[in-house]
A = this chain, B = another copy of it.
Amino acid sequence: MESSLWSPISGGIAAPRGFQAAGITAGLKVSNNPDLALIVAPYGAVCSGTFTTSSARAECINLAVSRLESTHGAIRAILINSGQANACTGKRGLEDSLLATKTLANRLELNDQQILICSTGVIGDPIPIQALLAGIDPLVAALDEENGDAAAKAILTTDLVEKQIAFQASIGGKAVRIGGMAKGSGMIHPNMATMLAFLTCDAFVPQEVWCKMVKRVVNSTFNCISVDGDTSTNDACLAFAAGELLSSKYFTDLEVGLMKVASHLAKAIVRDGEGANCLMEVTVDGAKTDAEARFIARAICSSSLVKTAIHGCDPNWGRIIAAAGRADISFSLSEVSLSIGEYMLLKGGLPIAFKKDLVAGYMREKFNMHDVDDDALKIRLIIGKGNGSASAWGCDFSKEYVRINADYTT
């Protein structure tokens, strides 16, 4: 199936049949913006989770890992609060997470093991738990299949725009829908960029297959983006599959759709990165393995020197090569070629004479793209003769990033 056979539809996270969502203001944020969201999956759903690898991860993440395991993925609801990360809050952090999920479980008449909680906001701040508990009744009352948008707004912290998408395809003669929402980093009260992503799908896939599929998709999308190289204590991606069992011959088709949803959300997070003006897409081909290609592509996207060069629309390819070189993946410089857009700047490890004005012009043209349909600024490296290939996404590094992150308490 062609990727183009997946068509965009409205509804976001609640677009797939059987899913409901809600988002309300519970008074957790000083700003009085929406701060409490809920996703409820239909009976029989399977959930797969991918979490931060941080050694300082929040208690809510540990709780999610243990419940996904004990229920074999039979999760029915995810509660999400924004404003407080509830990380580095010790025993109280865990107790608040338990209390919140217990209260919601009672209200939904579910087992509390089937409820997860995700938190995003300032590290070290506990959740104003009484406000959250008081919010549960109105939150559940707001549950609706039309409320994906409200949920997508309620999970934001310093993000400028909500990030949601849904696609539909006809698979084996039946309509399959995949929806998703995410939050990244913004610019009003930055303390920690926490990435959260939620995906829903109304075709059922056996848990083992679903977990592997989600892991592959997360590895090539959310795990391939960088705004500032810092990994959060609370990062999580949770993906539901529910509904009629999909025939195994269509798994590949489904994964194409899942990839489209995740890749849209991942790029939307980078576009909305703190101080970001430009989305760059780095593709590495010719590596020994996809994993090696990914390491190099991510090293380039994370390089402060590459990111400042992109900010200056400066085709400083030496920095790109230097970043590739430090990725801890061995390659032979004499086999490396590098292009920015359609302009080849290096071939066989040697610089090619190029019109700097033309390349800088291309870079300026790709700057200031905030529309999700705009093309990224494309950097492509071929580093050898292997079959390994990967893409990664990053943004420019601006004075605005420094201003946002240095001057926030003072």
Interface residues of A (CB under 8 A from B): 52-57, 85, 87-90, 122-124, 186-187, 189, 191-193, 228-233, 302-305, 308-309, 311-319, 321-331, 333-334, 336, 346, 348-351, 356, 360, 397-399, 401-410
Contact = CB atoms under 8 A, between A and B. Distances in A.
Contacts of A360: 409-410
Given A56-B322, A124-B318, A360-B409, 18 more contacts: A54-B322, A55-B326, A55-B329, A89-B350, A187-B305, A229-B229, A230-B304, A230-B322, A230-B323, A304-B405, A309-B406, A311-B402, A312-B409, A312-B410, A313-B410, A315-B409, A360-B410, A397-B406
A323 B232 CA distance: 8
Q: Which of the listed residues A85, A316, A351, A356 has the most CB atoms from chain B within 10 Å of its own CB? A: A316
A308 B349 contact: no
Contacts of A397: 402, 406
A351 B88 contact: yes
Contacts of A186: 305
B88 A321 contact: yes
Given A405-B308, A410-B360, A191 B88 contact: no
Contacts of A191: 316, 318-319, 326
A407 to B, nearest CB: 4
Contact of A333 (B55, B329, B334, B410): B55
A184 to B, nearest CB: 14
A351 to B, nearest CB: 5
Contacts of A309: 405-406, 408
Contacts of A231: 322, 325-326
Contacts of A57: 325
A85 B318 CA distance: 10
Contacts of A314: 406-410
A260 to B, nearest CB: 28
Stoichiometry, copies per complex:
2
Nearest to A334: B90
Nearest to A121: B318
Contacts of A52: 325
Given A90-B348, A192-B305, A351-B124, A322 B187 contact: yes
Contacts of A53: 326, 328
A305 B312 CA distance: 21
A88 B229 CA distance: 27
A262 B356 CA distance: 40
B228 A325 contact: no
A237 to B, nearest CB: 17
Contacts of A404: 308
Contacts of A124: 317-318, 346, 351
A161 to B, nearest CB: 21
A326 B232 CA distance: 8
